[in-house]
Amino acid sequence: MVDKRELYLLFRAADWKTRLYLKIKLKICPILELEAYVPQRGRIVDLGCGNGLFAFILKLGSPLREIIGLDFDEKKLRQAQRIQASGPLCLFILADLGQLSFPVADVYTLIDVLYLLPGDLQLAILKKCYDLLPPGGHILLKEIDTRPRWKYFWNYFQETLSVKIVGFTRGKKFYFRSSADWTSILKELGFKTSIVPLDKGYFYSHVLIIGQK
């Protein structure tokens, strides 16, 4: 697992808001644990990469990975470039996921992204990823499960603060699904699926859904 001290060191070049985001994210989300579920080599495309946090975690975890991050938020991508100003670690591209124009990859990751997108766009993105993946390729969805209910409702309250008040994340509505819904969708597309609960020790119902083509 990547040492969080490496991230703190890397993010020293970021502005105070991004550094605060890093500290909060590491406390409330098992984002460092997700890296272990990603192959050590190959091209990984992080859709909705934001300020590059998970992209950098992946690169720190294995230099053999080619990491590409896509996001529509110019400010966050500027922070990502600022963080890697001393030397490029990842390629970041300004892109609207709704355009469905993604680089070909061995693995696609969507870390706390899909819940901000309407259902029809969620489905279109997942289908596009399936079409672009090679046989044996993977997609990883980190989402918030709708069970246990108290954790789900606590997350809903926290996300309301983050999205609509603090502004850490851009979005207007939430489109959460249960882990069972996600696996059903992926199976219909042709993926083999597995679910990894990640909520132990957290007040949030974190879950990882993995699909293999």
User: pLDDT (tens digit, 9 = 90+) per residue, 6-46?
Assistant: 999 999 999 999 999 999 999 999 999 999 999 999 999 99
C-alpha–C-alpha distance, residues 30 and 37, integer Å: 12
Domain region containing 167: 4-212
Residues ≥6 apart with Cβ < 8 Å to 68: 43, 44, 45, 46, 55, 90, 91, 92, 93, 103, 105
Q: What is the pLDDT of residue 146?
A: 80
Torsion, Cα 15 17 19 24, to 10 degrees, reads -170
Q: What is the pLDDT of residue 203?
A: 78
Q: What is the pLDDT of residue 202?
A: 78
Q: What is the pLDDT of residue 182?
A: 98
Residues ≥6 apart with Cβ < 8 Å to 24: none
Residue 211 reports pLDDT greater than 70: yes
User: Are 144 and 181 contacting, i.e. CB atoms less than 8 angstroms apart?
Assistant: no
Residue 171 reports pLDDT greater than 60: no
Residue 169 reports pLDDT greater than 70: no
114-131: pLDDT as tens digits: 999 999 999 999 999 999
Please, what is the average pLDDT of the chain? 91
C-alpha–C-alpha distance, residues 162 and 170, integer Å: 9
What is the band of 165 on the pLDDT scale with cuts at 50, 70, 90? very low
Extract long-range pairs of 167-172: CB within 8 Å, 24+ residues apart.
168/21, 169/50, 169/116, 170/73, 170/116, 171/116
Residue 166 reports pLDDT greater than 80: no
Structure tokens given for 82: 């600022």
For residue 94, the surrounding DSSP H or E stretch is strand 91-94
Residue 84 reports pLDDT greater than 60: yes
Residue 199: count of CB within 10 angstroms of its CB: 18
Structure tokens given for 182: 């996600």
C-alpha–C-alpha distance, residues 47 and 102, integer Å: 8
Eight-state DSSP code of residue 99: G
Q: What is the pLDDT of residue 54?
A: 98
Q: How many domains are contained in the chain?
A: 1
Least Cα distance to 140 among 184, 183, 108 occurs for 108
89-117: pLDDT as tens digits: 999 999 999 999 999 999 999 999 999 99
C-alpha–C-alpha distance, residues 204 and 156, integer Å: 9
182-198: pLDDT as tens digits: 999 999 999 999 999 99
Residue 170 reports pLDDT greater than 60: no
What mean pLDDT is predicted for residues 143-155? 69
Q: Considering Cα of 7, then 13, then 18, then 24, what sign does the dihedral take?
A: positive
* pTM for the full predicted model: 0.91
Q: What is the pLDDT of residue 154?
A: 54
CATH number at residue 158: 3.40.50.150
